[in-house]
Every structure is written in structure tokens, then in C-alpha cells.
Amino acid sequence: MNKKKIFNDPIYGFIRYPHEVLYEIIDHPVFQRLRRISQQALSHYVYPGALHTRFQHALGATHLMCRAIDTLRSKGIDISEEEYEAACIAILLHDAGHGPFSHALEHIIANVHHESISLALMEYLGQDLNKDFSLAISIFTGSYGRPFLHQLVSGTIDTDRMDYLTRDSYFSGVAEGIIGYDRLISMMHVHDEQLVIEEKGIHSLEKFFLARKLMYWQVYLHKTVISAESMLISMLNRARFLVQKGISIPVSDELAYFLALPDNQHLEIHKNNFLENFILLDDMDILWLMKRFGSCEDFVLRTLCQRLLQRNLFKVISLRQPDTQHLLEERRHLFEKKYQISEDESSYFFREKEECLKGYEQGTDEVSILLKSGGTTFLSQLVPGVVYPDESRFFYIYPTD
């Protein structure tokens, strides 16, 4: 019986789910594909242990969803079994739409947000399994009449963020990401159908926001990770350029489909075999391209593939001094002269990139606190220092040849 199936998770220990349909989804090829989608793209170039997958993350987030709903039920919140099941389906499939290397290649493989593809895959799986996923879809999109269920899937303190901060911290070895998910879940409540945190959980919330900020700058937006992922993007862009110039590149049929798409083309997910090709695409397609073309004739593609395979990464500086751009232009001209390449070709090696960490703002991202008196207020009213603005950093990426 599937209901007796247990997953041994390195973070949460033995976990199981209360609904049979969750196991049917997990066993489906569309979900099994997430085993071949890395959670942190090329972060393992800096943190060798960060090799976990979207599959693991989805299982963990669903486990936290079960714990959150059980906690709310224990506090007298009426949540039907249908709502419970639908919320679990929504979180289990919330990342099904990620392409190879997750966020690193989002809008590069296809100019579509992964959440839009996740929604399409929910509809696809519902039809394929002959199940009614309409309630799960309405919770996922936020159109269901009980907002707290959507907030548990996609909100400021959702189970998605709780798992990825905990899991990414665990596998990268960066202790700053530890958030105390147990305490946060135990402090959850519902007030006027909105998710709130009890007043006793304020300090856990402060730690959550600080951990998120530190993980972004220390792990997700680490300058060496940015270098590796920028090179990966350049590699895909060069492969697309060659394909669209009519140069034959022996890649998988599904990757060939996406390389043939014009840049920034508005895509309709339900047309032109988009989903059929997307669910066959994973990290292996990109890794095989990287390995195969480390010896091709094209200088740009060959060099990028070789350097990624050998971890011979470009240098990254984040200074924005008046003479920085001038010095980079000098380097670029020397690079072009040394390798006898054009300005267009050198553009794959010299890049500028802006990264932004979204802050915690009053109004849009506010977490409501349930006071001991029974009323509610926003977290920023109790802890003014928790509000911080968006923070942007500029990076210059170039080879040191």
C-alpha cells in the first residue's frame, strides 16, 4: 500500500503523507523528472555539498505543509480533508515547472515563468491521473476564498521558503540559513482567514528574515556562483545562436526544440508541443551539451564548455568605480586581439549583471502578528528594524587571460 511508503529525509527524518493521491503524483514521470533538476544550479562550485534536487525540496515542503495544517487544526481552525489534500497537492507541484538548473536558466531556456508552467503541469497531471485538481489549482493561484491556504504555499513565511532555507543551509553547510521552522510552524494561527504568527513567535520571525538575507548574499548570489551561472547562460546563448544560424548541433530533441525558439518570444504553453518537450528536459541535456562541445570547432562554445567542466571560472568584481568599465574595455580589446575574435564573440565572455535582493517592505510583504489580547498588528509595528529595502549589487564578469 502506498500509504505505508516512508521517505527518509536527511533533515526531517522519516516522513509520510496522509493522502494517497500525493504518492500517485510522486510516482508520475512528470514529478520524477525533478530528481534531475538541481535545486541550487551551480552553487556546488562553491559549496560542494549543494547537489540536492527539486525533488527533495518538494517532498520537504509538502511535509512542512502537513505539519502546518495539523498545527492549525489543533488550534481549532476548521480545515476540511479536501482542503488539506488540495493544499498538499499545490505545494508538492509548486516547483514542477522549473527547467534545467532551476532559477539560473529561467527565461533563458524559455521565456516563461516557472510558476506558469507549474500551473499548466497541475492541469496536465489532473487529466492524466483522472483526478479533479481544481481546488489545488485555486489554492495555488490564490483565487480560493481562504487566503491562508495560499499563503502557506506562496507567501512571506510559506512552507516553500521554510524548506529551501533549511535545506540549502544544510547541504551548503552555511549555518546562517538555519531558521527554526519548528518554532515558526508552532506559532502559526489563522485570523479572519489570514495566516498570522502568534506574538510569542516574533523573534523567530526576525531570525527568518535575517537568515533569508544572509543566504542570498552568502550562497545564492555568491560572486563565484554568479560567475559560473553567467558562463552557463552564455553557453546556452551561444548554442542557440549557432542553431539559429543553421549550424547543426547534435543535442537532444527536446533541447533542440527550445534552442530553435527565437529570443524572448512570447510562448503559449498549451500550444506547439511546449509541455511535451518541457517535461523531457532536465539538467542532463545541458550537462551533455557541455561535455560534448568541449572539443567543438566554435571557439566561443568550446571555450565556455571547457572552462565550466574544469571550473576555470571568470573573475567577478562588484566594485562600481568610475574607471572600472574603462579597464574592462581595455581587457576586452586585448582578449579579442589575443584570440582573433570579433566584438560580438567577446560579448559572451565579458558581462555586466545586476542582482537584487528583494527587501521586506511595509504593506506588500507584511506579516500579521496575533497579539495576546486577541487583536492583530503588523510585525513592522512591533519591530521597526525588521523592514529593509531592496538591495542591488552590480557585478562585472570577465576572463583573466
Backbone angles phi, psi at 267, to 5 degrees: -105, 140
Q: What is the distance between the alpha carbons of residues 170 and 124, in angstroms, rounded to a whole number?
A: 33
pLDDT of residue 265: 64
pLDDT of residue 266: 65
- Domain ranges for the chain: 2-221, 223-355
Share of the chain above pLDDT 90, in %: 79
Does residue 173 contact residue 224 with C-beta atoms inside 8 Å? no
Which residues does residue 377 pair with via DSSP β-bridges, in sequence order? 369
pLDDT of residue 269: 85
At the fourth CATH level, the homologous superfamily of domain 2-221 is: Hypothetical protein af1432 (1.10.3210.10)
With 60 as the cut, is the pLDDT of residue 283 above it?
A: yes
pLDDT of residue 388: 80
Q: What is the mean pLDDT of residues 331-338?
A: 94
Question: Helix count (H) and strand count (E) of the chain?
Answer: 18, 9
Greater confidence, 248 or 276?
A: 276
pLDDT of residue 294: 81
Q: What is the mean pLDDT of residues 352-374?
A: 86
pTM, to two decimals: 0.94
Q: What is the distance between the alpha carbons of residues 328 and 350, in angstroms, rounded to a whole number?
A: 8
Q: What is the mean pLDDT of residues 294-310?
A: 93
pLDDT band at 95 (very low <50, low <70, confident <90, very high): very high
Query: Range with the lowest mean pLDDT among 46-55, 259-268, 329-338, 347-356?
Result: 259-268
**Burial profile 345-373: b = 16 or more Cβ within 10 angstroms, e = fewer:** bbebbbbebebebeebeeeebbbbbbeee
Place of cell 525540496: 57
pLDDT of residue 249: 84
pLDDT band at 63 (very low <50, low <70, confident <90, very high): very high
pLDDT band at 267 (very low <50, low <70, confident <90, very high): confident
Q: What is the mean pLDDT of residues 174-196?
A: 95
With 80 as the cut, is the pLDDT of residue 175 above it?
A: yes
pLDDT of residue 2: 54
Which residues, other chains included, contact 315 with Cβ-Cβ below 8 Å and sequence gap of 6+? 227, 397, 398, 399, 400
pLDDT of residue 158: 96
pLDDT in tens, 96-133: 999 999 999 998 998 889 999 999 999 999 999 999 99
With 70 as the cut, is the pLDDT of residue 351 above it?
A: yes
With 80 as the cut, is the pLDDT of residue 254 above it?
A: yes
Instruction: Give the gyration radius of the chain's Cα atoms.
Output: 23
CATH code, 223-355: 1.20.1250.30
**Burial profile 130-161: b = 16 or more Cβ within 10 angstroms, e = fewer:** eeebebbbbbbeeebebbbbbbbbbbbbbbbb
Torsion from C-alpha of 78, 209, 222, 263, nearest 10 degrees: 50
pLDDT in tens, 200-222: 999 999 999 999 999 999 999 99
Domains 2-221 and 223-355 share a fold: no
Greater confidence, 267 or 212?
A: 212
pLDDT in tens, 141-170: 999 999 999 999 999 999 999 999 999 999
Q: What is the mean pLDDT of residues 378-393?
A: 87
Q: What is the distance between the alpha carbons of residues 366 and 381, in angstroms, rounded to a whole number?
A: 10
What's the mean pLDDT when you consider all of the chain? 93
Distance set, CA 62 to CA 67, 194, 365 (Å): 9, 20, 23
Query: Range with the lowest mean pLDDT among 211-215, 224-228, 313-317, 320-324?
Result: 320-324
Q: What is the mean pLDDT of residues 72-83?
A: 98
pLDDT of residue 212: 93
pLDDT in tens, 133-142: 999 999 999 9
pLDDT of residue 4: 67
